[in-house]
Amino acid sequence: MIIGARCTTTQQEVTTWVGATNHGVGIHKTRLAFNDFKIVEQRRERLET
């Protein structure tokens, strides 16, 4: 599951929605890449605005 940069929902909330039987669903916070035309995983917890 991909959570976009502007989404205010936390990874913890999504984990709660998916439930204990997540069937191998991965949850990743993402953002647009700075130098490429692609979406990348956000490494830092807080995004700068």
pLDDT of residue 20: 64
Q: What is the pTM of this model?
A: 0.55
User: Cα separation of 13 and 9, whole Å?
Assistant: 6
Strand partners, 40: 31
Encode pLDDT of 12-45 as tens digits: 888 888 776 667 777 888 889 999 999 998 877 6
